[in-house]
Structure formats: structure tokens, C-alpha cells
Structure 1
Amino acid sequence: MNLFLGLLLFLNLGFVIASIDMVSSISAPESSPMAAAPIALVPSSMADFTSGPNVGNHRMKANRKLLIGLVTSLLVIMIIIMSIIVLMKCHRRKLQKLKNPGGKRSDSLRGLALSSFVGKSNGSLKTVNEKASVAVMDYHLLESATGNFGEGEVLGEGGFGCVYRARIDENLCVAVKRLDGGSQDAIKEFQTEIDLLSKIQHPNIITLLGYCVHDDTRLLVYELMHNGSLETQLHGPSNGSNLTWHCRMKIALDTARGLEYLHENCKPSVIHRDLKSSNILLDSSFNAKLSDFGLAVMDGAQNKSNVKLSGTLGYVAPEYLLDGKLTDKSDVYAFGVVLLELLLGRRPVEKLAASQCQSIVTWAMPQLTDRSKLPNIVDPVIRYTMDLKHLYQVAAVAVLCVQPEPSYRPLITDVLHSLIPLVPVELGGTLKVTQTRSSVTVDP
């Protein structure tokens, strides 16, 4: 094909050169032998007329028009040829996509860091939209990276499936959430998660790196949070022993910052609708990030009457549970429950008997406002390790957040500003702490 085009261009150039030579010979100067030879059959009066300057000008104009016409025709031919080349290339790319919609084999992605192919545009990877950095990932790559979704790689389990640790290469591990089944609720949550997290970037909100759809299996790929969930840290084998008072306050502050971003900075605003300790993930430095946005609602204040009742028992606000009224104050209530978990080390709902349960709010509320009883119900791991004034302040914030009447609850921004002075500077707050051998003192 390239040889044919080159030959065609060569022939056209040769044609133009030959034409220019022909024009040059036609417009040869009168001093040449041909121009100087007399024509006997032409009368002298006619010869005098044709040998004047008008004949030379006429010939020059005719030659110039011919040359311009030839050059113009050459340019048109070249433009047509280039257009044909472009169209053929586009057609070839379309044929390649139709023959191989999945792109390169998963083997070609093995050993590559995720950061090396996020954002690229090839057969195996596409971006959701222009602003997104969420990648469509190869199923076989993720299957191999999780050890064929082996039990030894399970990090946790949710309502629609498990979360697995996946090693993409030697330097990169990620978390893969597997959603099995094709129920309408599962599909909707999967799509909501992608739509929201592809547009959200915040230090206290989990990063979605990619996703995959393979038959009835849907996979979501996140950054790996090495310390798991807050629920595991509080109620798992360690029973909160890794979480000091200041660490717990930092987790509360990070959670409040993530919620404030959703409520105040997102346009339209976002209501998480499923905030709980299992959806607050902790990285290697115990920085907290909100996760699991499958139930999130955008602009919930306008759509609250059309939202299906969903959530987790113990965290659901009373007005939403009883009347279906959903606002940003519903998230504030759930945050208050999480704050009580951090403070007391108890689960949001505990069984009293086979058929009876008691919420942490019902159990703690009478004691939270009694300063003489409050220190005795604090999680034993952190009991007497904090300034009592700070303890009373956190308890007061929690009490306000779990008020039955939504209008009595503070905005998450107000909660955020209440917590900042309780968190050390090195952990993201404004508190200056001086460490001594015997105790912890707080500088005024």
C-alpha cells in the first residue's frame, strides 16, 4: 500500500516537472534559433504586429495559468491521498476492536504496577469519564492476583460478597471486592459506587482504582488499607488495644472530615446512608477513610421520599427508620453511634437475650450526661488515659449527634470544629501534648 502511494506521488511529481519543462520550452526567449527564424507565409504587416510585446505577455499569462493549474491539481491529489490514508487507519482500528474487544491478554498485564496502566487508553483499560482515574481491569489478572479468590486472601465479608487481598506485582497490593449474583440491588450499588468514587478525591475517602464485569461477577478494586476496618480493630481479636485515646480521636476527626466533604463540598451533596465502623477503613498509620458508597444518595434532601429504606441496625436514624425521612442529619446520627463505639468500646447493638437486643444509644444515654458515671463506662483500654475535660466534651458531642430529633443534631461541620482541639497537632488537630514519664499533660 505504501509502495503504491509512493509510486503515485512520484508519477504526479514527474508529470508536473514535465509540464514545467514544456511550459519553459513554449515560453523560450525570442533570441533562440526557433524564435529568430522568419516565417515567409506571414505578411510583413502581420509579422510586425505579432512580434510586438503583447504576444510575449499573452504567452506568459497562459503559461502561468497552466502552471498554477497543474500545481493546484497536485495539491488536491495529495489531500485526497492523505484523507484516504487516515480513513483506512481508522477503519483498521475499528476492525481490531471488533476482533479483540477485551484487548490484550491478561498475561501482558502481569507484573505491571497498577499505577503504570491507570489512565492509559488501550484494549484492556478505559477511563469512565474525562475526569476519572478508574480503570476497567482484566478479570483473569484479578483472579490470579487473589489466588483464585482463595479463602486465605479474604479480608472481610459484606452483604453481597467478600473482599480479597490481591497482589498485582511485587510492589503493589490492592483490595478486591467481589459481588456475586445479578440482583437489581447489587447491580445498582455497584454502579453507584463507580459513579460516585470516580468523581470524588479526598484524603478521608477510599480511592477506587478499578472495576471489572465478568459474566455475573462484578469486581471493585480499591487501595489496600493495611489496618482493616474500625470494627475489626475495636471488636476483633485485639479488642481495641491498638487504639489509644488520641488515635481514636484522630479516627473520629478523619471520619468527620470525610463526611463534611460529602455534605458541604460535593455538588450536589452526598448522603452516605451506611456510615458504620465496618465502613471506616484504616491505613498503616491509622488514617481513617470512608468506604462502601453503594447506598449513597446524591441530593438526598430532594429525593428522600423516593429512597428505599436501607442501612444497618444500630446506625439508622429514628426518623429515617420510622418515617423514611433522609437528610444529612441521618449521617450525623450514625457518626454519633461510631463516636460512642470509640468511646465505650461496645458494639452498636448487643443481645440481652435470645430475642432481645439493646442499642448502645439506649444503654449509654443516661450515663453520658452524668460526670460521675461516665469514666466508669469508658472502654477499659483507654480508661483514665485522657484529660477528663476532653472526655466530657466528646461525650457531649456524641449525645448531640444521637438526638432523636434531627433539628437538635449539629451539622457535621460543627462536630468537626469541636474535635479539632482534641487531636494532637502531629495527628491533624491543634492540641499540643507534652509527654512525661508518669502521665500525659496538655498544654494550655
Structure 2
Amino acid sequence: MTSLSKKPLFNQFISSLLLVLLLDLVFSSTASVSSVTSPFAYANSKVKLAEESKEAVVLLNWKLSLHNKSHSLWSSWVGTTPCNWVGINCDQSGSVTHLNLSSYGLIGTLHNLSFQSFPNLLSLDLSDNSLYGIIPSNICHLFKLSFLNLYDNQFTGRIPSEIGKLTSLNSIDLSQNHLSGHIPQEIGQLSSLRFFALALNNLIGVIPASLKNLSEVIILYLYENQLSGSIPQELGMLSSLTDLELFSNSLTGVIPASLGNLTNLFRIVVYDNQFSGSIPQELGMLSSLTDLALSINNLTGAIPASLGNLTKLTYLTFFNNKLSGPIPFEMNNVTQLKVFDLSDNQLTGHLPENVCLGGVLEIFNAEHNHFIGSIPKSIQNCSSLVRFLHEKNQLTGNIGECFGGVYPNLVYIDLSYNRFYGRISSGLGDLTQLHVLNLSSNKLDGEIPKEICKLTSLGPIPNTKAFCEAPIEAFRNNKGLCGNTTGLKACPSAISHNPHVKRGNKVMKIISTLLGIVLLIFIIIGITLYIRSRKMKTKIKLKEEEHQNMFAVWSYDGKMVYEKIIEATEDFDDKHIIGVGGHGIVYKAELSTGQVVAIKKLHSLSEDSVVNLKAFTSEICSLTEIRHHNIVKLHGFCSHPRHLLLVYQFLEGGSLEKILNNDELALEFDWVKRVNVVKGVASALSYMHHDCSSPIIHRDISSKNVLLDSEYESHVSDFGTARIMSSDTSYWTSFAGTFGYTAPEHAYTMEVSEKCDVYSFGVVALEVIIGRHPGDLISSFVSSSFSLSSHDVLLEDILDQRLAHPTNRVAEKVVLVAKIALACLHTSPQSRPTMQQVYQKLLNWKFPFTKPLRMITLRELIDLGNLNEAS
């Protein structure tokens, strides 16, 4: 080698040596030349130190760009060697290979994290933080990266196409962010990929056919985006795929038959899309399949017989489609099902006989179809059964023989609107966990059996949760059913149905007649003595006597409870008052039994009798029509010359108005609780408007009429002005409601529709997050003085300042509540969302912005428009 060729090498050595000397000055290194065997060895050690220090400088620079610089994590991030820092691992040469900072609550961007400085990085895990901004395109410099996890952050913008250069990637998870745009075609270049997750984002466009090149991929999660188009036939080439989840998108077309080639699949979850056509019979080739969810689509045709080959299925749902025809006989081979849901289709024929042969079925739902025949006998093997819903079919059979097994976990039975006959089985008394039982609109007869529980002077209806809390609708329209409760005919005297006893019927009739005459004489004498006794002890007027027994409380002796209420409230002493309303006063009553109830005492009939009696009957009619977790429970009522009483469940938390007006209580009412309260009210109103037989409009939704229990669960109360609508059109009536919560059209024109409740809900939702009634804010929306600068007020600045600002996912939910509330306050009723839309948005929430809370203005909340346009 010539001296000329050696010169660059010498220059390189000199440069390295100068860098070493510079680093000695910067980092005050204690190493000395004398401790190194030669200048070259010394230079090599210092060059290695320079590489480590360069990575350290980049990481420290990124740390300084983050918002939470005082995090305890950073206490270890000192010095020039990052290999000793928390969250970092290095190889033997001291180069960073793993950066794992998951779940440290980091807030900031990746702009200052220079990926070029980490040539040996193998894994990058920044999941479960609050990082935002875009994913930088220079991530493509991590050539050796095999593991990338940015799950559960707030990244926005597009997925950089440069990510396709990371051909060493085995796993990539970008789920639960706010990424938008299309899935890059370049993803198809990642031939080593085994785990691929882009779920819970705002991605649009089609699933790229280039994904066919991911021959090693095992898990593919694209669910809860806004993807459209059809499933590419090419996905049938992903021979290693075991888990395919595409649910909650806007995918169309048919489910491709090519999926039948994926013999390693154990999960196909594609519900909540717009798929049409029939279920491909090729799915029957997937012998490893355990979960098949095809619900909430537009699928037609019959269930293919080939699905009977899927003997490992444990989860099978078809609900909310347009399937028709009988369930194929081959489905009797599928005996390991835990969840089987066929509801809301047009299936016909018999239910599969072996549906619970394996004894593991937990949920069986076939409601709203055209099934005939009896309940499968294999149900008697299902001690695991939790929910059994078969309403609105044409099923038949003896009700007493349907449930002959032991069901310690069964909480829900609905067999209404069928053709079941016979007596209610006494075996139902063993269902100690039962919460809901509906047997209405069948052909049941006989008495509700006393064997179901130990009776405590309650009559033939047993004292269990399922019966005592069930409305009469649960038993209605069974002509032969009898019992001592409102809506059922009284049961005849107990006569043995044993055929051997019938031989002595003539003798028994004679004896019964004689005994009846004797008993009648005693009854007449007893009544006479009783009346005389009452006249001597009291001086109550005849009119009061006529009304004395008009108290009707479900599962209680009305007169007894009435007297207990008078005793508990000390004849309605003011010290027991817990609230005052437009139509009456609410008292807290602790009965001698220990039960605590709320008593709403309306003004006596002599005071504005028409108005109060109308409010009284309206509240009873409304609350006997509905039963919902977020609606206050009516135990009973009493009509008396002195009082009109409504007996409610007592809710310990008091009203929403009381909590927001009390600084101490408001501090305990944190953001998570507040969002849950708003969701609860929305759930109640959605139920009233859309799930009752006739829509019910509350007309007085306000913070004083939202009550909270000890767990801060919300309950809508005060149905005195409620109206049951005969149709879904609006109508006009006298003004009702609370000023400040009333929709403009009702205040000005007396027009009433469900959109009046929507408006009131919007006021309450805003009140919850800003901590006070939003009157000034609402007025500014419609005022001509609402300037452009007012639009630019930050949402953060109007939130309840008594609480620290919400962060992370909670902040996103608060923003969503604000967005929904403003949509509900639109001056045009037609432009407001329905409560069903509101509740669905709160239930399946998606953050409507691509920026953090501190940057969101009221202008942006208003400009988002209706809930269907932005989510």
C-alpha cells in the first residue's frame, strides 16, 4: 500500500483522536492515556464512548421536549451511558437495542427523537402514553427494528409509507390512536410481519390487496376504523392467519369465499359492517374456528349446512341480518357453543336439538324470528346458562317442562310472545340469580306456584327479585294465568287436579256448599262487628272511608305500607323533606322494616286538583310502562283524599343540581363520574324514545331531576309532565318544564317532540362539564354579539375549574361530551341528533379531534356539525 493510500486512514485517526479529546473536556472523563495500552486502543475506546454519548445526547434532547420533565422515570437518565437508564437495553458494544417506555404517561411528540442515531435498535415500545403529532417518516432508518408498538397514544396524520422499508419488522401495533388516511400499499413489503394492528383509528379507504404478501402474518386487526370497499379476495392467501378482526367499519360486498383457504383461522370477527349476500359455505372448511361473528350486516339466504363442521365453535353470532330458512340439521354437531345469537333475522323451523349437548352454553338468543316447536331438551344440561332470550317467535310446549335442570347462573329469561302453555314450573324458584323474567303473551294457565319461594303474605306472586320487581307486563296476555295482583284474575279455590280425587267431586260440592253458607254467615257477622268497631274508634268521614284502600304498591299490603309511611315521616313532618318540586314535596322515609324509600307527596286534591291529578296519573302511567337501570324505580302509589303519594326507590347521592352547587361535593364528582352520569341519562332517554312500545317524552329533563346513587350512577326522575306519544310525530300542548332547560320551539310554540328532551339533555350535559348552568354560554350561541373571538375560546377554559383538567382518554371523553352537548342545542329540532345516536356515540366513543384538549376551541366543537358527519 502506498503512502498516499495510507493518508486518509491517518487523517481519520487524527480526527478520532481530536473527538476523543473534545469529549474528555465535555464529559470530564477520568480515563487517562497512561491507562490505555496504545494510542489506537485509546482512540477506539473513545470512539465507542462517542457513539454511546451520541445516543445519550439524542435521548436527553427528546426528554427535554416532553411536557412532563419531572417524571420519576428521568431520575436514572443521567450521565453519558444510556445502557444503565430505565427503559433502555444495549448490546455488548454498548449500542441501544431496546427502548421500552410503555405506560409512563409521557406527553409530547417524536419530532426531537432522531431515529437515525439508533442503527441497532431492535424494539421500540412507547405504548399507553399521551404522545401526539405525526409518526415521523425518518422512522424508516431503524433498519433492524423487529418490534414497533405505539398503541394507545394520540398520534395523528397518515401512516408514513416509508414504514414499508422496515423489512425486519415482526410486529407492528399502531392501534387506538387518531391516525387518518389510507393504509399504505407499502405495508405489503413487510414480508416478515406476524402481528399487524391498526385498530381504533380513523383510517379510510380500502384494505390494500398488497397485504396478500404478508405470508407470515398471524394476527390482523383493522377493526373500528372507517374502512370501505370489500374484503380483498387476496386475503385468502394469508395461509398463516389465525385471527382476523375487521368489525365496526363500513365494509361492503360479499364475504369472500377465499377465506375458506385460511385453515389456521380460529377467529373471524366482521360484525357491524355492510356486508351483503350469503354466508359462504367455504367457511365450513375452517375446522379450527372457535369464534365466528357476522352480526349487524345485511347478509341474506340460509345458514350453510357446512357450518356444522365447525365443531370447535364456542362463539357464534348472526344477529341483526336478513337470514332466512331453517337452521340446518348439521348444526346439531356444534355442541361446544358458549354464545349463540340468532336474534333479529327471518329464520324459520326448529331450534337445534343439541345446542347445549356439551353443557357449556351461556347465552342463547333467538328472539324476533319465526321459530316453531319446543325448546330443545338439551337446555336441561345447561347449568352454565346465563341469558335465554326467545321472545317473539312461534315456540310452543309446556312451560313447566322447559326448564327441568339446575341453572345457578341464569339471570335473564324472556319467552314472551310465543305459544307456550301449561303452568309455570315451581322449579323456577331455584333460579336465585334471576333478575328478569318475561312470560307475557303466551297461553299459560294456573296459579303462579307458591313453591317458588317462601311466601310472606304476598299472595300467589312470589317474593323474589324476578317477580316482585317485574311489572304486570311480564305476565300479561296469558288468559289462564291467575294471581292476587293487579292485571291478573283471582285464582279459584285450590282444588286437587289428581284424577283419583275427582271421583268424590259430588260429595265435595255438597260439603263445599254447606261450608260456604256457614262461612258466609260468619263473614256477615264479622263485617257487622268490624264496622261497628270502626265507628266507635274513629270519626272519619264517609268520603275518607271510600278512599281508604286505594293504595296500590306492588308486592306489598297497601294499607300496611301507607301506615308505615305516615309513621316514618311523622305525618309528613318538614324535617323529613329532601326536595320540593312544582307539583309537591319529596320526603325520605325509613320504614320500620329498615327499607328506605322516597315519598313524593303531591298537593291535595283540593289544591289545583286537575293539574295535580293529571301529573299524578301521568307519572304512574309513564313509570309502569318503563323499567330501566337509569330511570328511578316506582314502588307504588296511593290516592287518598288527604294525599296523592308516589313511592320511589331512595337514591343516596341526591340530585345532580345539589352536587354541582356544593364545592365540597363537586370535588368528589370527578371527570370519570361526570362522563358516566351523562352517559346514564342518555341511556335512559334513548330507551324512553326508541325502545318503549310507544315513545315517552319526559319534558322536564334538568339537573334537579337527575338523581345519583351512592356509586354516582344517574337515574332520571320526576315524570309528572311526561307524555306517551301515540306516534313519532310532534304535537302541541301546554308549557311544561324548567326554564333554562326548555327547547326554544316548546317555549315559543308549545310544540312537543322527542327533540325537546334532546335539547334539555344538551343543557344538562354542558352543566355537568362546566360545573354550573350554561345559560350565558347558550345565550351567546344565538346572540348577534357572539363575536368571532368568542368562537375561539378554548374548551379547557370553560370546564369546571374546581377540578384539575382531564387528561389522556378521560380528556377525550370530556371533549366528546362537549361536542355532543352542542349538537343537541341546535336551534333547529331537525338538526339535533336523536337520543339513540347520542347514546351510541357515548357508548362506542371515538375522539373527534386530532389535537390535545388544550388546543380545542368552541369554534371547532360547533363546526363539527351533526354526529353523523364527524365521529
Per the normalisation by structure 2, the TM-score is: 0.34
Measure how far apart 1:82 and its partner are: 2.2
- SS across alignment from 1:178: strand
Asked if the contact 1:316–1:333 (Cα under 8 Å) also holds between the matched residues in 2, the reply is yes
Structure 1 position 361 matched with structure 2 position 741 = no
- SS across alignment from 1:169: coil
Measure how far apart 1:281 and its partner are: 0.5
Q: 1:85 to 1:158 in 2, by over 3 A?
A: same
Give 2:601's aligned residue: 178
Structure 1 position 226 matched with structure 2 position 643 = no
- SS across alignment from 2:588: strand
Distance (Å, rounded) in 2 between the aligned partners of 1:386 and 1:98: 75
Measure how far apart 1:323 and its partner are: 1.7
Give 1:285's aligned residue: 711
Structure 1 position 140 matched with structure 2 position 563 = yes
Give 1:406's aligned residue: 829
Asked if the contact 2:639–2:645 (Cα under 8 Å) also holds between the matched residues in 1, the reply is yes
Q: 1:212 to 1:237 in 2, by over 3 A?
A: farther
Measure how far apart 1:305 and its partner are: 3.5
Distance (Å, rounded) in 1 between the aligned partners of 2:737 and 2:653: 24
Distance (Å, rounded) in 2 between the aligned partners of 1:94 and 1:333: 60
Measure how far apart 1:80 and its partner are: 4.0
Query: Structure 1: which amino acid aligns with 2:509?
Result: I
Distance (Å, rounded) in 1 between the aligned partners of 2:525 and 2:754: 50
Measure how far apart 1:285 and its partner are: 0.6
Query: Structure 1: which amino acid aligns with 2:573?
Result: G
Distance (Å, rounded) in 2 between the aligned partners of 1:178 and 1:361: 34
Alignment of 1:274-353 (within 5 A): 274-299=700-725, 301=727, 304-349=730-775
- SS across alignment from 2:667: coil
Distance (Å, rounded) in 1 between the aligned partners of 2:789 and 2:624: 40
Asked if the contact 1:301–1:327 (Cα under 8 Å) also holds between the matched residues in 2, the reply is no
Structure 1 position 385 matched with structure 2 position 806 = yes
Measure how far apart 1:276 and its partner are: 0.7
Give 1:270's aligned residue: 696
Which consecutive residues of structure 2, in runs of 5 or more, have no partner in the other structure? 1-503, 535-547, 847-871
Alignment counterpart, residue 82 of structure 1, candidates 512, 517, 522: 512
- Output one character per residue of 1:36-88: Cα deviation in whole Å (capped at 9) or x when no partner: xxxxxxxxxxxxxxxxxxxxxxxxxxxxxxxxxxxxxx975753442353466
Distance (Å, rounded) in 2 between the aligned partners of 1:335 and 1:98: 58
Whichever structure has more helix as a proportion of its residues is 1
Distance (Å, rounded) in 1 between the aligned partners of 2:678 and 2:747: 24
- SS across alignment from 1:289: strand
Q: 1:235 to 1:75 in 2, by over 3 A?
A: closer
Measure how far apart 1:386 and its partner are: 3.4
Distance (Å, rounded) in 2 between the aligned partners of 1:98 and 1:237: 62
Distance (Å, rounded) in 1 between the aligned partners of 2:771 and 2:702: 14
Measure how far apart 1:369 and its partner are: 9.0
- Output one character per residue of 1:70-122: Cα deviation in whole Å (capped at 9) or x when no partner: xxxx9757534423534665786688789879xx9xxxxxxxxxxxxxxxxxx
- SS across alignment from 1:164: strand
Query: Structure 2: which amino acid aligns with 1:373?
Result: L
- Output one character per residue of 1:254-311: Cα deviation in whole Å (capped at 9) or x when no partner: 1011111111111111111111111111011111111111111001656853522211
Per the normalisation by structure 1, the TM-score is: 0.64
Alignment of 1:7-22 (within 5 A): none
**Greater relative CO, 1 or 2 (CA 8 Å, sep 6+):** 1
Alignment counterpart, residue 374 of structure 1, candidates 780, 795, 806: 795
Asked if the contact 2:550–2:638 (Cα under 8 Å) also holds between the matched residues in 1, the reply is no
Q: 1:91 to 1:266 in 2, by over 3 A?
A: farther
Alignment of 1:54-65 (within 5 A): none
Q: 1:237 to 1:374 in 2, by over 3 A?
A: closer
Alignment of 1:86-165 (within 5 A): 86=516, 89=519, 127=552, 136-137=558-559, 138-165=561-588
Query: Structure 2: which amino acid aligns with 1:254?
Result: G
Which consecutive residues of structure 1, in runs of 5 or more, have no partner in the other structure? 1-73, 105-122, 350-357, 424-444
Q: 1:307 to 1:97 in 2, by over 3 A?
A: farther
RMSD (CA atoms):
3.3
Measure how far apart 1:197 and its partner are: 1.5
Measure how far apart 1:241 and its partner are: 1.8
Larger Rg: 1
- Output one character per residue of 1:318-368: Cα deviation in whole Å (capped at 9) or x when no partner: 11111222111111100000001011112254xxxxxxxx5x412468699
Measure how far apart 1:200 and its partner are: 2.1
Asked if the contact 1:179–1:217 (Cα under 8 Å) also holds between the matched residues in 2, the reply is yes
Distance (Å, rounded) in 2 between the aligned partners of 1:215 and 1:172: 26
Give 1:211's aligned residue: 637
- Output one character per residue of 1:153-191: Cα deviation in whole Å (capped at 9) or x when no partner: 211111122211111125311111111232211111111
Asked if the contact 2:552–2:638 (Cα under 8 Å) also holds between the matched residues in 1, the reply is no
- SS across alignment from 2:747: helix
Give 2:431's aligned residue: none
Asked if the contact 1:368–1:395 (Cα under 8 Å) also holds between the matched residues in 2, the reply is no
